């Protein structure tokens, strides 16, 4: 028998991934036909500046979806910062910086609702009924939570760390998003979200009702393959192997000069045997739209030095307008705050409406 725990634990296995990928392609076609059928939500933890992993992994994709006419909601997940760390850090600065990253990358506040957790009381209140709909073993078996806990090297599991996928379900369900563009690591959370939506409607008699309270949100897997850091290991700010949107062209060049390559002079696209070289080719490919094979061929036996120059130029060209716009925005903090305030106002309206529906479904209206 397949239990819900298996479903969660297996949501990132090969067969399941293949299905999710195929479904993502179907959704992509459905968006072309009618983008107004979708409401998309995604978010980021304000734990630092956004880097190329974020940009190619999701941010660029969000902007494209927004521009194709999908209603877009983007969450600055400030409460999620305290899942795996003890303090909030320079949170205000980071939140404002994140909003600047968003707008500089092309999110348009006229079309997209940008908001943050801690400003939306009704979103957070959904956590309570939702917690009653999940089991402890489901929570303990969530592979992403496990991996995140392991990465903290010996930190104790906090109640919030264990239950944050439920909070994330509230992020998605409060605004009734039916589309969540995410990377692979977030798939277990999305599976958990669907279970919560299903169980809520079942438990409170809405499953067969004409209008269930919640949609069953689906993943839109990002096309970008897994990017490595410039040292060939997992991309992570703490390893200093990332290129941030906010870096200068010189800083970008400096990091890439130090990038790890290999001893082979002829540059070839070979992700299995030559992960570091291939990762650099992939970056250049993502920035220019040329295939990695083509880029490799054009470099040929000119070696790793030339490869690094090619990648640096490709990235700096792509990032130049984003960086210029970001600098301008960072000079106008009042504007950035006003974008967030407007997003929060809208998110609060929607969250209040959903919470009222939830209380109605639960017969808690007195
Ligand atoms: N957990 C996501 C991350 O770490 C951020 C996030 C918070 C999110 N809430 C979300 C993503 C809702 C998608 C939907 O990147």
| pTM for the full predicted model | 0.93
- Dump pLDDT digits (tens) for 167-201: 999 999 999 999 999 888 899 999 999 999 999 99
CA 152 vs. chain centroid, Å, equals 20
∠ CA 150-169-35 to the nearest 5 degrees? 120
**3-class state of residue 74 by DSSP:** strand
Ligand 1 pocket, Cβ-based, cut-off 6 angstroms: 41-45, 75, 77, 80, 168, 171-172, 180, 182, 186
Q: From ligand 1's centre to the CA of 44, what distance in Å?
A: 5
Neighbours of 174 (CB within 10 A): 26
User: What are the structure tokens assigned to 344, written together?
Assistant: 């929060």
Q: From ligand 1's centre to the CA of 168, what distance in Å?
A: 7
Query: What's the residue count for the chain?
Result: 366
Assign 2 a pLDDT band (cuts: 50, 70, 90): low
For the stretch 87-96, contacts whose Cβ atoms lie closer than 8 Å and that sit 24 or more positions apart, written own/partner, are 89/47, 91/46, 94/46, 94/47, 94/48, 94/49, 95/46, 95/340, 96/330, 96/333, 96/336, 96/337
Tell me how far apart the alpha carbons of residues 336 and 149 are, in angstroms, rounded to a whole number.
Answer: 33
- Dump pLDDT digits (tens) for 33-78: 999 999 999 999 999 999 999 999 889 999 999 999 999 999 999 9
User: 114 forms bridges with which residues in the sheet?
Assistant: 74
Burial of residue 147 (CB within 10 Å: 0-12, 13-18, 19+) is exposed
Tell me how far apart the alpha carbons of residues 224 and 125 are, in angstroms, rounded to a whole number.
Answer: 35
Q: From ligand 1's centre to the CA of 74, what distance in Å?
A: 9
Alpha-carbon separation of residue 154 from 138, 149, 161, 260 (angstroms): 21, 8, 14, 29
User: Which is the closest atom of ligand 1 to the Cα of 183?
Assistant: 15
């Amino acid at each position: 028998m397949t239990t819900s725990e298996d479903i969660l634990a297996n949501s990132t296995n090969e067969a399941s991934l293949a299905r999710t990928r195929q479904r993502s392609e179907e959704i992509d076609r459905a968006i072309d036909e009618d983008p107004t059928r979708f409401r998309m939500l995604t978010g980021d933890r304000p734990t630092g500046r956004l880097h190329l992993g974020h940009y190619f992994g999701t941010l660029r994709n969000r902007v494209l979806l927004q521009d194709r006419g999908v209603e877009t909601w983007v969450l600055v997940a400030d409460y999620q910062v305290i899942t795996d760390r003890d303090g909030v850090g320079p949170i205000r600065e980071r939140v404002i910086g994140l909003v600047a990253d968003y707008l500089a990358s092309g999110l348009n506040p006229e079309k997209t609702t940008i908001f943050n957790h801690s400003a939306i009381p009704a979103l957070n209140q959904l956590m309570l009924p939702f917690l009653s709909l999940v089991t402890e073993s489901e929570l303990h078996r969530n592979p992403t939570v496990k991996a995140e806990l392991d990465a903290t090297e010996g930190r104790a599991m906090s109640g919030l760390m264990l239950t944050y996928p439920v909070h994330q379900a509230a992020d998605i369900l409060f605004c009734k998003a039916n589309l969540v563009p995410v990377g692979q690591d977030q798939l277990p959370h999305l599976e958990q979200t669907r279970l919560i939506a299903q169980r809520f409607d079942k438990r409170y008699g809405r499953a067969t009702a004409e209008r269930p309270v919640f949609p069953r949100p689906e993943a839109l897997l990002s096309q970008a393959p897994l990017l490595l850091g410039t040292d060939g290991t997992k991309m992570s700010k703490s390893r200093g192997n990332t290129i941030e949107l906010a870096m200068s062209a010189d800083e970008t060049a400096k990091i890439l000069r130090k990038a790890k390559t290999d001893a082979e002079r002829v540059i070839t696209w070979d992700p299995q045997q030559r992960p570091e070289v291939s990762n650099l080719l992939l970056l250049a490919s993502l920035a220019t739209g040329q295939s990695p094979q083509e880029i490799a061929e054009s470099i040929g036996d000119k070696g790793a030095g030339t490869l690094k120059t090619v990648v640096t130029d490709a990235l700096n060209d792509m990032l130049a307008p984003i960086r210029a716009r970001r600098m301008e925005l960072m000079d106008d903090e009042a504007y950035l705050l006003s974008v967030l305030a407007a997003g929060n106002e809208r998110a609060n309206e929607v969250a209040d409406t959903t919470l009222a529906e939830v209380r109605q479904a639960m017969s808690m209206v007195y």
